Amino acid sequence: MPTKKTSSFRARARRVRSAIRGVLPRRLKEARPRLSVARSLRHISAQIIDDAAGKTLAAASDLKISKGKKAERAAEVGKALAEAAKKAGVSKVVFDRGGRRFHGRIAALAEAARAGGLEF
């Protein structure tokens, strides 16, 4: 039986994804790929997904980064993801925080991705 914490997290994740996944968001004029962030206690990873085709266009994680604090490593992941997105020809995405609050490592990754040239 899931705890209240996990069930609340899953509900937030469903709510976020229902607004951006599979359908064209109302405020956007064109469909965009989704920048999905996965965070655990030790690591963070992100990928840019084209939901229409079901393909991952670019991905980055901090598994090979051993030095620095977690937020610093998250910023490195954001920079690496922005570079990989440029190579894949993606400049505009929709941010999927995956039910997590937009602060700490999630915000650091987003800021670095924006600084790297991604628009969301």
CATH number of the domain enclosing 78? 3.30.420.100
Task: Report if residue 13 sits inside a domain.
Answer: yes
Task: Indicate the number of domains in the chain.
Answer: 1
Q: What pLDDT score was predicted for residue 88?
A: 95
Task: Report if residue 42 sits inside a domain.
Answer: yes
Average pLDDT over residues 19-30: 60
Euclidean distance between CA atoms 31 and 20, whole angstroms: 10
Task: Report if residue 38 sits inside a domain.
Answer: yes
Task: Report if residue 110 sits inside a domain.
Answer: yes
**Residue range(s) defining the domain that contains residue 16:** 4-115
Say if residue 80's pLDDT is above 90.
yes
Task: Report if residue 88 sits inside a domain.
Answer: yes
Structure confidence at residue 24 as a pLDDT band (50, 70, 90) = low
Euclidean distance between CA atoms 82 and 113, whole angstroms: 5
Q: Give me the sign of the Cα torsion angle 68, 77, 80, 76.
A: negative
pTM of the prediction? 0.84
Task: Report if residue 120 sits inside a domain.
Answer: no
Structure confidence at residue 23 as a pLDDT band (50, 70, 90) = low
Structure confidence at residue 28 as a pLDDT band (50, 70, 90) = low
Task: Report if residue 23 sits inside a domain.
Answer: yes
